[in-house]
Amino acid sequence: SQQGEEDPQALSIQEGENATMNCSYKTSINNLQWYRQNSGRGLVHLILIRSNEREKHSGRLRVTLDTSKKSSSLLITASRAADTASYFCATHQGAQKLVFGQGTRLTINP
């Protein structure tokens, strides 16, 4: 079963706009990670936020974590066509595994 629920399932925006994806999870976590997947290929690790952190930045990415609400958001600023992909949140709960959400399919229109 999937731990994370992502919202929206699909998002289509114009190039240059910001994209926000949300993730909710059910149990306490050690950290939460975001991954990108292009066209059914492998996952690319984007950013990791630990349970004691509230916000983290990496280039055009900003991730927030609210452990009281068991939710996280990923913001991509100034989107580009190359950002078109599926984005997954994954929680790490102490065992040696990630539990993934169903993903958000992001389309950037030129």
Partner 1 sequence: KAGVTQTPRYLIKTRGQQVTLSCSPISGHRSVSWYQQTPGQGLQFLFEYFSETQRNKGNFPGRFSGRQFSNSRSEMNVSTLELGDSALYLCASSPEGQGAWGYTFGSGTRLTVV
Q: What residues make contact with partner 1 under the rule CB under 8 A?
A: 2, 30-31, 33, 35, 40-45, 48, 88, 90, 92, 95-103
103 Ramachandran zone, left/alpha/beta (phi>0; psi -120 to 50): left
Mind giving me the DSSP string for 9-50? Answer: SEEEEETTS-EEEEEE-SS--SEEEEEEESTT--EEEEEEEE
Residue with Cβ nearer partner 1 (13 or 48): 48
Question: Which tokens go with 49?
Answer: 């936020």
Nearer to partner 1, 13 or 22 (CB): 22
- CB of 85: closest distance to partner 1 in angstroms? 13
C-beta of 15 vs 37, nearer to partner 1: 37
CA–CA gap between residue 34 and residue 71 (Å, rounded): 13
Compute the least distance from the CB of residue 11 to partner 1, in Å: 17
CB of 98 to partner 1, least distance (A): 7
